[in-house]
Structure 1
Amino acid sequence: MRFSKVIMEALTINGGNMTVRKFEPVMVHPESEIPNGFYFLSSLDQAIPFTVKTIYRYEKGSDIVGDVLRQALSKVLVHYYPFTGSMAMSPEGGFIVELTKKGVPFVEAEADCSMNMLGDIRVPDPDVTNKLIYSDPKAKTIFETPLLTAQVTKFKCGGFTLGVGMYHSLVDGVSGMNFVNSWAQIARGKPVTTVPFHDRTRLKSRVPPQIKYPYDDFVQIADASDTESLYQRDPLVHKLFVFDADRIAATKKLVLSEGKVKCCSSFAAVTALVWLAWSEALSMKPHQLTKLRIMADFRSKFETETLPEHYFGNAVVTTASLCSAGELHKRPISFAVEQIQKALELLDEEYVRSRIDFVGVYKPQLSSVGTLVISSWTRLAYGMSDFGWGGPSQFGCGDLGRELCVYFPEGDGKKGIAVVLALPLSAMNAFEELVQV
């Protein structure tokens, strides 16, 4: 399929030049009737009104890959119809989705190089993201921003990338991956096995609210170490670091030998190492308060009213740990692990329900100062995103907030964890030295 308008976009990457020819977007609509009206968003959904960008890399493709994905998208949108709507304001003053049925912009593109030029797509590169993931240039507000965009880019080597932009208010990692994998099933001629559950009122605020926790996530931290000036002075750099199975095993052994904790997961071990190195790399003063926020899926934590496994929406909250940088560094690593474990132990149904009420009542603001956010993507089923030419060889985030640290599988069947984060250049150099000891 070809279109009248073509946009040429060029960039220099990994020592070479790449030009991407983008054809005019086509609005894809569900192939059959979908609901009208408005679509409720919980307070958890409303708290994250921005687009999450991801890139899937496929080593093999064909001339018809664009047609196959576009036609399958029309079919899967019947199940995932909120993506075809627009953000709006509810009478109560919150966000809601208006089911406008305006469709989803779908772009086909061609690159004049091999995919090898991309390097490791787990590491965000803003220039690459802008070439491989479509954003509506006319959208100036969240009410004009598409809730879903898709771009298929074919490369000279015969492979292709799929760049997806999904509005976070509609999906978390699990529900977003369920959508992509359902899309892939249809592209392969298979029936959808994961039908989304759309009743988000399951996570509605209680009346009256019942707030039982203080929620350290929202504590405002003073910049006692003047890290803000560092972020303004140095360019932000993204890098990937691999903590292999041997490094993780050695860290666990050290943690347990200190006698403070009885067990230590790979997640806790790596997070402790990252938290320590991150705070030291930013030259935090001993009295600087530092906050670790961990994003956690709570689908399995509900007992009184089960949250369906295929719940479509945000079933993720953060749980946090607060301590001073001095306390973090003067104590053994088992102290950091203990703080991580205590934060994770808070997560149960009442903690989530209370947090939903807390957010609904206070509408608190989050801050980046002194804050590290951990989001693990190691269990996302991206390997099932096979559109007919095999699963993706890589899956990466197209952008990364300065406080966000994302975990990926090491790859190639190995049992390590690949950590991707962003830091000012000088801090990144220090972080690299610290974690490679």
Structure 2
Amino acid sequence: MMAFTFMVTPKEPELIVPAQPTPHEIKALSTLDDQETLRCHYPMIMFYKSKPSMEGLNPVKIIREALAKTLVYYYPYAGRLIEGPDNKFMVDCTAEGVVFVEADASVSIVQLGDTVQPPCRYPELLVSDVPGSDGMLGCPLMLVQVTRFKCGGFVLAIRFNHVISDALGSLQFVTTMSEMAKGAPTPSILPVWKRELLTARHPLHVTHTHPEYEEEGKSIIPSSLNDKNLVRRSFSFGPKEIKAIRKNLPAELHSTSRFDLITACLWRSHTRAIQFDPDDDVRIMCMVNVRGKNCLDLPSGYYGNAIICPAKVSKAKILCESPLSYAIKLVKEARRQATPEYSRSTIDFIATKERPKLTSPWNFIVSDTSKVGFDEVDFGWGNPIYGGTMYGGTFHYIVYAHQRNQKGEDVMVVPMTLPVAVMERFEDELRILLCDLMKNSSSLSPIMVPSKL
């Protein structure tokens, strides 16, 4: 808990419009963009320390001007969503602008310490609750807040409408802002709309099964999830933990990626903590970027949603009682499904089901933003001390983030949100699992799982 009073004083919000005239047109969205699950807003955040060479320069002014210049190229973001036939969203490029908030904090960045890691402890301070800014139809598609700190550092928080962009698309936008802030005349990567590239085929052709969208039939939501008193924690996985996990796996799994290892540990511990019925089907779902997939032909600069979420299914009892290697194999198999044809089949399946939802208590959905690059966005003050997701998701949707520990080692930060009793069991399950693995590794000593309030 912070031993000081952290206050933020925001000024009146304003609308930032493109710096030059932009086309007034209506743009269609892709089938992936128009999913029910994506009809929401998500914030990304970057913390910047002061820099002697930037002393006297106002980050608010620099970022406000860079935002207006960036909106010339990304002008759909300055528009508003409207509803077309069949409840389908479209973008009316009206150039009405995005919300911008200037604010000042009562403390210095260094006083925040490691609380800059997700999940954010003070979201209502760094992303102002501007009336009318968080809806869908007819509302601004972005909110930007720049909060200056006493030390000369600042925080940039941007809340994006998920219908327009995924995390990589949002990074492309923010990177252009940083380039404009440093005087670039044009973006290094020009934005591309072309949402028809990820629109359902005609005729529709579903060639795979898609358990990620299956609805539960007889299963009853575990009583442990009825508690609305939620708590947030973050868990860190560094080189020491990853080495211990790998060392205790069968030889054929020693080359398993860090993502697969961490996801398997979390999924099994999460399933045990929730205490599903043993016969319930539980799913691991890994968000996979389809940019660069052969035959999809997404050009450089495409900033729409280009993520699919293939799944593998297990009975809860089998997952909980099997060795960790069982969960790892399912995670690997889930990600391997993301072929170009599976991606096309996913898009067609979504169209046949009229926006099915991904979210379900039986789904464990993982999105890895640790390598997206928000921690490398430089507005002139150098890279942020933390850049990435602000919250980390819900009790069944987890967003990984990247951080460096005091030794300078790369660490995967995993924010979790769970009911109080479930969180206590989850921490116990994860601690027991990792401590057992560490004890079995002769060169390593047992550790406690790092977590923070």
Q: Tell me, yes or no, whether TM beats 0.5.
A: yes
Amino acid at match of 1:384: E
Q: Following the alignment from structure 1 to structure 2, what is the Cα–Cα distance between the partners of residues 298 and 327? A: 31
Aligned to 2:438: none
Q: Following the alignment from structure 1 to structure 2, what is the Cα–Cα distance between the partners of residues 189 and 140? A: 31
Moved over 6 A (4+): none
Residues 123 and 238 in structure 1, CA contact (< 8 A), matched pair in contact too: no
Per-residue deviation at 1:381? 1.4
Per-residue deviation at 1:254? 2.2
Aligned to 1:120: 115
Aligned to 1:347: 338
Aligned to 1:45: 33
Q: Following the alignment from structure 1 to structure 2, what is the Cα–Cα distance between the partners of residues 315 and 426? A: 36
2:16 pairs with 1:25: no
> How many percent of aligned residue pairs carry the same amino acid?
28
Per-residue deviation at 1:384? 2.9
2:24 pairs with 1:36: yes
**For residues 225 and 280 of structure 1, do their structure 2 counterparts lie closer, same or farther at Cα, with a shift above 3 Å needed?**
farther
For the residue of structure 1 that corresponds to 2:411, the secondary structure is strand
Pick the aligned partner of 1:386 from 374, 378, 383: 378
2:144 pairs with 1:177: no
Aligned to 2:227: 233
Q: Following the alignment from structure 2 to structure 1, what is the Cα–Cα distance between the partners of residues 218 and 48? A: 43
Pick the aligned partner of 1:265 from 257, 262, 265: 257
Q: Following the alignment from structure 2 to structure 1, what is the Cα–Cα distance between the partners of residues 119 and 139? A: 21
Q: Following the alignment from structure 2 to structure 1, what is the Cα–Cα distance between the partners of residues 235 and 78? A: 37
Aligned to 1:149: 143
Aligned to 1:253: 247
Aligned to 1:335: 326
Aligned to 2:90: 96
Amino acid at match of 2:401: F
**For residues 222 and 91 of structure 1, do their structure 2 counterparts lie closer, same or farther at Cα, with a shift above 3 Å needed?**
closer
Pick the aligned partner of 1:417 from 412, 415, 432: 412
Amino acid at match of 2:48: Y
The 5-angstrom pairing of residues 403-414 of structure 1 reads 403-412=396-405, 413-414=408-409
For the residue of structure 2 that corresponds to 1:290, the secondary structure is strand
Q: Following the alignment from structure 1 to structure 2, what is the Cα–Cα distance between the partners of residues 102 and 37? A: 13
Residues 221 and 361 in structure 2, CA contact (< 8 A), matched pair in contact too: no
Aligned to 2:124: 130
**For residues 140 and 294 of structure 1, do their structure 2 counterparts lie closer, same or farther at Cα, with a shift above 3 Å needed?**
closer
Pick the aligned partner of 2:291 from 292, 299, 322: 299
For the residue of structure 2 that corresponds to 1:299, the secondary structure is coil
Residues 41 and 95 in structure 1, CA contact (< 8 A), matched pair in contact too: yes
Pick the aligned partner of 1:82 from 76, 84, 88: 76
For the residue of structure 1 that corresponds to 2:7, the secondary structure is strand
Amino acid at match of 2:362: G
Pick the aligned partner of 1:276 from 264, 268, 279: 268
2:394 pairs with 1:401: yes
List per-residue Cα deviations over 1:135-179 (Å, max 9, x = no partner). 431357411331111011011222110110110111111110011
Q: Following the alignment from structure 2 to structure 1, what is the Cα–Cα distance between the partners of residues 403 and 104? A: 29
CA RMSD of aligned residues (A): 2.0
Q: Following the alignment from structure 1 to structure 2, what is the Cα–Cα distance between the partners of residues 208 and 163? A: 42
Higher strand residue share:
1
The 5-angstrom pairing of residues 52-71 of structure 1 reads 52-60=42-50, 62=56, 64-71=58-65
**For residues 392 and 349 of structure 1, do their structure 2 counterparts lie closer, same or farther at Cα, with a shift above 3 Å needed?**
same
TM-score of the two chains, using structure 2 as the length reference: 0.88
Deviates more, 1:53-62 or 1:313-322: 53-62
TM-score of the two chains, using structure 1 as the length reference: 0.91
Residues 83 and 148 in structure 1, CA contact (< 8 A), matched pair in contact too: yes
List per-residue Cα deviations over 1:321-348 (Å, max 9, x = no partner). 1111111122221111111111111111
Amino acid at match of 1:345: R
Q: Following the alignment from structure 2 to structure 1, what is the Cα–Cα distance between the partners of residues 13 and 237? A: 41
Per-residue deviation at 1:89? 0.7
The number of residue pairs the alignment matches comes to 420
Residues 20 and 111 in structure 1, CA contact (< 8 A), matched pair in contact too: yes
Aligned to 1:325: 316
For the residue of structure 2 that corresponds to 1:120, the secondary structure is helix
